Amino acid sequence: MNSQRILMATMPMDGHFSPLTGLAVHLCQLGHDVRWYVGGDYGDRVTALGLHHYPFVRAKIVNQENLDSLFPERKDLKNTIARLRFDINQVFLLRAPEFVDDLTAIHADWPFDLIIHDVAFIGGSFIQQLLSVKSVAVGVVPLAESDEWVGPSGMGMPPRAGFVGRQYQRFLRFMVQDVLFKPCNDLHNQLRVEHGLPPVSGFLFDYLVRSADLYLQSGVPGFEYPRKRISPNVRFVGPLLPFSSNKRRSFTQADKVFCYSHVVLVTQGTVERDVEKLLVPTLEAFADDPNTLVIATTGGSQTEVLRHRFPHDNLIIEDFIPFNAVMPYASVYVTNGGYGGVMLALKHNLPVVAAGVHEGKNEIAARIGYCQVGVNLKTETPKPAQIRRAIQTLLTDTHYRQNVRKLSREFSQYDALKLAEQHIQNLLEKEALVAA
């Protein structure tokens, strides 16, 4: 593949930015000129990767951390659907014109050949058509494309079998896509028309998947629901994970794990700041348990407070521990459902206890339950007894372990960066042939 000018573009959110970092560095190491458009503190992380950073200029930085402060009226929306519509409009759709302005200015200065963006970065689909550049969308969450065999994405509902079950799913898809979220579809088309683009039919999020020249789905088919069809531009590439240097980082308290029968690793990621949701009940569930070591990573949230509150010998509480270093020692992974962490756990043969509902985590938790590689608690605020029971189930029921081993073997067959590189190369070679 000849050297290309490649622009990465992502929403200013960790779950949208981090999964693309490994791919960006890989493409750069292949000799491509890779640059990144993203707002906020993520610019420092881009430059730390050795890449040129384009900041948001006209685009407003909106994410889950500042949404309520930017839009105080959001707090008055008590209805869940109304609030979700508001979030889709304000975080994603209404940012698209601003992204177009910034990306157009970047292209005038540095005419990139290809834009690689997370699927929620709607500016990618606009700029693909306005500037006639190729676009690669990356699925940083489970495949959200509609299908006759699955329910509407976002509800965290596993497929229902049989005629009645599929008719029910069909009714739900209609209600979600054509009624509840019709205002989002209408706003998307309004913005397209304002930019001289034709309106599109169907559901907004289906369009974002299907319109990309190439859609790289992070994950493997075995961690996805059975589907009647998948769009031809979709390619499963295995888990796209954050960039990690080749330096092996050790788990400094590894000797301690051999004093216990079981090791539980628990995390809430770096975004969720309320430690009472998952960290505290997990620590409470096993405090002073002589057989269980709990390793809790806080992401920097109240680490010292938790250490003071839980000084027990069988509890390790750290800001951050490299998962690749600690997961080989763990027996079970407890999480609020971050996609990358779940896939990494499954790669390490770890069954999962999932306690996530919002921001798409219910879809990840639902797949954990459906694939029987863990327990979906179906709540963001589990009780200590619920966590303890779920972990006991995973430790004693060999069926879960068998399923995890099977899925781990499937993960091992996918070299995510190499596969993504090959699919991108095929896309560019096809474009070169058409141009010739």
Q: What is the pTM of this model?
A: 0.94
Contact at 8 Å (CB) between 198 and 120? no
Does the structure show a pLDDT above 80 at 245? no
| Tokens linked to 383 | 């009780």
CA–CA separation, 334 vs 348, rounded Å? 14
321-347 exposure pattern, b = at least 16 Cβ within 10 A, e = fewer: bebeebbebbbbbbbbbbbbbbbbbbb
Q: What local confidence, expressed as pLDDT, does residue 253 receive?
A: 86
pLDDT in tens, 58-75: 999 998 888 889 999 988
Neighbouring CB atoms inside 10 A of 157's CB total 17
Residue 359 — very low, low, confident or very high, per pLDDT cuts 50/70/90? confident
Residue 1 — very low, low, confident or very high, per pLDDT cuts 50/70/90? low
Mean pLDDT of 89-93: 95
CA–CA separation, 377 vs 390, rounded Å? 8
Tell me the C-alpha to C-alpha distance, in Å, between residue 86 and each of 83, 187, 231, 414, 417: 5, 11, 29, 37, 35
Q: What local confidence, expressed as pLDDT, does residue 436 receive?
A: 61
Does the structure show a pLDDT above 70 at 202? yes
Mean pLDDT of 382-400: 97
Q: What local confidence, expressed as pLDDT, does residue 435 receive?
A: 65
